Amino acid sequence: MNTTSLLLNFAKRVHALAETGQHFSESDYDMDRYTELEQIALEMISLVTQNDISLVSSGIQEKNGYRTPKVDVRAVVFNQEKQILMVREQIDGNWSLPGGWADVGFTPAEIAVKETREEAGVKVQPVRLLAIFDKKCHNHPPDVHYAYKIFIECSILDATIRTGYETTDAGFFSLEALPPLSTPRNTLEQVEMMFRFRDNQLRWPHIDLECNHGL
């Protein structure tokens, strides 16, 4: 993990501790200190991510008690030609596995099915969990949120492609001909790992046991 990513991770941890502290604080003195820590953390995150502090504040603050990571779910869908399904993101013009933030009231598997249908038009059914990534352990660009990423393999029921309001294109790609990746959503390392699962080179779900950043 490079210095920028390390500083961002520290800032997120400070912010989470500050917000949790505000929720459980029983004195005005503690509340003032936690509020000050929260503001410092927001300013640090704003500097590292180069986002306006008002955007950082609205995007990261929850004010609902103990802070927990956000959860991003990605569907891993291969066709009979052993190509992987990807969608072109409207937000940056690059490509990702279908998916997005988990919605309240849905299981991770249901999110994978729903997002694949909404973003690519493809009907799928969940098969197995492939990986749970801690976003900080991978080569994603700096982000406001602290997130876990769940990758779920799905099989195709209907391969008819139709894009959604968040995507501009969709298609199946071989590992050798991947399009430019939307790295906030998935990295080349992660997509390559999905092909290794497809080829039975990996059999057990992957989890990040630790990151090499000295924490």
Indicate which CATH number applies to the domain containing 102. Answer: 3.90.79.10
Longest distance between any two alpha carbons in the chain, whole Å = 63
Predicted local confidence at residue 213, as pLDDT: 45
User: In this predicted model, what pLDDT tens digit does every residue of 41-55 receive, in sequence order?
Assistant: 888 888 888 888 877
Judging by beta carbons within 10 Å of its beta carbon (0-12, 13-18, 19+), is residue 205 exposed, middle or buried?
A: middle
81 and 47 within one domain: no
118 and 81 within one domain: yes
* Residue at 180 is within a domain: yes
The token pair at 2 is 């490079």
39 and 135 within one domain: no
195 and 100 within one domain: yes
* Residue at 214 is within a domain: no
Q: Which residues contact 164 (CB under 8 A, 6 or more apart)?
A: 118, 119, 120, 121
Predicted local confidence at residue 204, as pLDDT: 94
179 and 112 within one domain: yes
Domain count, the chain: 2
Q: Residue 21: which of 30, 29, 9 has the closest Cα?
A: 30
- Other Cβ atoms less than 10 A from the Cβ of 184: the count is 19
191 and 114 within one domain: yes
The residues with which 154 forms a beta bridge, in sequence order, are 77, 126
194 and 146 within one domain: yes
31 and 100 within one domain: no
CA distance 15 to 8: 11
109 and 52 within one domain: no
* Residue at 213 is within a domain: no
List the domain range (segments joined by +) for residue 126.
70-207
The answer to whether 149 and 133 have CB atoms below 8 angstroms apart is yes
* Residue at 103 is within a domain: yes
The answer to whether 73 and 150 have CB atoms below 8 angstroms apart is yes
Asked whether the CA dihedral 121, 122, 126, 132 is positive or negative, the reply is: negative
191 and 161 within one domain: yes
Which of the listed residues 60, 85, 104 is the one where a domain comes to its end?
Answer: 60
The answer to whether 1 and 212 have CB atoms below 8 angstroms apart is yes
- From first to last of its 215 residues, what are the pLDDT tens digits of the chain? 678 878 888 888 888 888 888 867 788 888 888 889 888 988 888 888 888 887 777 667 666 666 788 999 999 999 999 999 999 999 999 999 999 999 877 899 999 999 999 999 999 999 999 999 999 999 998 888 889 999 999 999 999 999 998 999 999 999 999 999 999 999 999 999 999 999 999 989 999 998 864 33
201 and 108 within one domain: yes
36 and 119 within one domain: no
* Residue at 215 is within a domain: no
Which of the listed residues 60, 84, 106 is the one where a domain comes to its end?
Answer: 60
User: In this predicted model, what pLDDT tens digit does every residue of 147-174 receive, in sequence order?
Assistant: 999 999 999 999 999 999 899 999 999 9
Which of the listed residues 42, 60, 78 is the one where a domain comes to its end?
Answer: 60
The pTM of this model reads: 0.75
CA distance 127 to 188: 23
